[in-house]
Structure 1
Amino acid sequence: MPNRVHSYVHLHLVSDATGETLIAVARAAAAQYASVRAIEHVYPLVRSTKQLDRVTTEIEAAPGIVLYTLIGAELAERLEARCKEYGAPCVSVLAPVLNVFQSYLGTQSTPRIGGQHVLNADYFRRIDALNYTLVHDDGQMVEDLEEADVVLIGISRTSKTPTGIYLANRGIKTANIPIVPGIPLPPQLESLSGPLVVGLVASPERIVQIRQNRLLSLNDRDNTAYVDRLAVAEEIAFTRKLCARHEWPTIDVTRRSIEETAAAILALHKEHRDA
């Protein structure tokens, strides 16, 4: 088949549930093609032929790659037949994985739409973690820090809050404590025995850049100390010394995404829990 060079590609993501699995897979694949912009068309909760017909009409209007997770065989076959008519490649994201499971386990799967979103104990554990994390953001409610799984510390703009929320979605109760010049840290922090304490740091240049953008968005041009490189470097040095004194691990988030930072913390948390 001839190579097709596009500056963009339409990605049609068809799901009978929320579409989260499809979005994650599609973005992971699209990220490997830096010169191509993926235009996502997400169709969640497609569970009838009428709904599917609306989807295929849109696929015909903007042909591209079609990925789907449809449990019902009739809908899947109908989608694949239409895509074949349009010349649009169509792939079931779960089919190869389910085939491996079936071959290894020697048994058929039990089709369940959105089965990963069932309201089980794990789901409620994640909700509980999210509630805890939101209440313990930015140094609040330090009286019960011992109940946390992870406590993040760091200076302003080291992504403590978004990292904590990401961890909460993985079921990890996360509190975060800001390190602010001239303001003492809560005494509860240094006496923790259960939670894993992790320091987040970054290069002074990166912190200054983010803080400058923050001040611009707030239309605040007077807070020069907040973006002074030497002052920022001192804040980072203080964080590193504090963590070294207590043997708390540090993670440099300068070039890390939230997901990468969270993955590193999850690995540290597993080691901490096992120990």
Structure 2
Amino acid sequence: MNRLNLHLVSDSTGETLEMIAKAALAQFDDPDVSRHFWPMVRSLQHLDRIVPDLAAHPGLVFHTLVNPETRKRLEEHCRHLGLPAVPVLDQVTAALEAQLGQEAHGRPGRQHMMDEDYFKRVEAIQYTIAHDDGIGYEEWEEADIVLVGVSRSSKTPTSIYLANRGFKTANIPLVVESPPPPALYGLRHPLIVGLTTSPERLVQIRRNRLLSLNEATETAYVDNDRVKAELQFARRMFGDNGWPVIDVTRRSIEETAAAIIRLAQERDRKPASEGGVGKPI
């Protein structure tokens, strides 16, 4: 199979376009793709400057240009070069226009405007960084989500991902010899979620962590029986408190976060008397 040159042309940061391309490419088996990324293309002059690269590396052009003038110019260049140009958001925007009964604004970078959601994300990121790894228990009640799990169960990266989605997230490590502060069990506002994984996967991750730090890999930290006991301790705690549990063994960070967000949304729709369940998701 020949290598595909994929040109991503955006009039904003290109984050949306990159995510769409990544999601679409994930449906193929190891595609040989060379990505050419062109963000912040907001003028005809800027657009014209990338044409030589389009000609030198012919392939597929994805774009999210909303300005009619620059969009038309790109399509003209692509026709001249014989390249397919795909406006990836057109069908979604058209469907929304039909259902909402109004036309899209067509302003570049509108999704990145510093609106209320933007400042909510900034606040969430600041809170999450300040409450990583069990820090600041006095302020856990302010969290939207609290993640609980043993060491190396993806708590921190999942917390950061959730923060970028606007959720204030604290994470708390579970250590058999050092139980978490009593404050954890009295929380009312946050959704508390337990993260678990398979013992084999956890040992592997911990060994890799120790190797990266040039530390000895034969310690209680990676002992199979000890790791199983840690996970059993965590599961008992999750069950005793009725916290929902997510098994991250075969989940990416994005998939884990999506499951947590779904739990948060479901809880918001339920009466206060209905709690979570302690079964793995």
Instruction: Answer whether TM exceeds 0.5 for this pair.
Output: yes
**Deviation per CA, 1:213-263, whole angstroms, max 9, x where unpaired?**
111110001551111111111111111000000001110000001111001
**Residues 249 and 104 from structure 1, CA distance in 2 versus in 1: closer, same or farther, beyond 3 angstroms?**
closer
Q: Secondary structure at the match of 1:153?
A: strand
Q: Which residue of 1 aligns with 2:209?
A: 214
**Secondary structure in 2 aligned to 1:261?**
helix
Q: Is the 8 A contact 2:5 2:35 kept in 1?
A: yes
Q: CA separation of 1:107/1:189 partners in 2, compared to 1, >3 Å: closer, same or farther?
A: closer
Matched residue, 2:83? 88
Query: Normalization by structure 2: what TM-score?
Result: 0.92
Give the structure 2 partner of residue 247 of structure 1: 242
Aligned mates of 1:11, 1:74 — CA distance in 2: 22
Q: Which residue of 2 aligns with 1:178?
A: 173
Question: Residue 205 of structure 1 is aligned with which of 195, 200, 221?
Answer: 200
C-alpha separation in 2, matches of 1:35 and 1:123: 35
Q: Select 2:72's aligned residue among 69, 72, 77.
A: 77
SS in 1 for 2:166: coil
Tell me by how many angstroms 1:106 deviates. 4.2
Give the counterpart of 1:20 among 9, 12, 15: 15
Residue of structure 2 in register with 1:259 after alignment: 254
- Once residues 217 and 64 of structure 2 are traced to their aligned partners in structure 1, the CA distance between those partners, rounded to angstroms, is 53
How many angstroms apart in 2 are the aligned matches of 1:239 and 1:107?
Answer: 51
Q: How does 1:34-183 map to 2 (within 5 A)?
A: 34-183=29-178
CA distance in 1, matches of 2:181, 2:34: 47
- Residues 21-69 of structure 1 show CA distances to partners (whole Å, capped at 9, x for unaligned) of 1001101111111131322211111111221112221111111111001
SS in 2 for 1:199: strand
Q: Deviations over 1:151-177 (max 9, x none)?
A: 101011111011011111111110000
Give 5+ residue unaligned stretches, structure 1.
none
- The one-letter code sitting in structure 2 at the alignment partner of 1:133 is T
Q: Report the Cα offset of residue 139 of structure 1.
A: 0.6
Find the aligned partners of 2:104 and 2:207 in 1 and give their Cα distance: 53
Runs (4+) off by over 6 Å: none
Give the whole-Å Cα distance in 2 for the aligned partners of 1:146 and 1:27.
36
The number of residue pairs the alignment matches comes to 270
Aligned-residue identity in percent: 52
Partner Cα separation in structure 2 for residue 230 and residue 160 of structure 1? 22
With the length of structure 1 as denominator, give the TM-score of the two structures.
Answer: 0.94
C-alpha RMSD of the superposition: 1.4
- SS of residue matched to 1:57: helix
Q: Which runs of 5+ in 2 are unaligned?
A: 271-281
Structure 1 pair 107/179, CA: closer, same or farther in 2 (3 Å)? closer
SS at match of 1:214: helix
Give the match for residue 263 of structure 2: 268
Distance 2:183 2:205 in 1: 30
The aligned amino acid for 2:134 is G
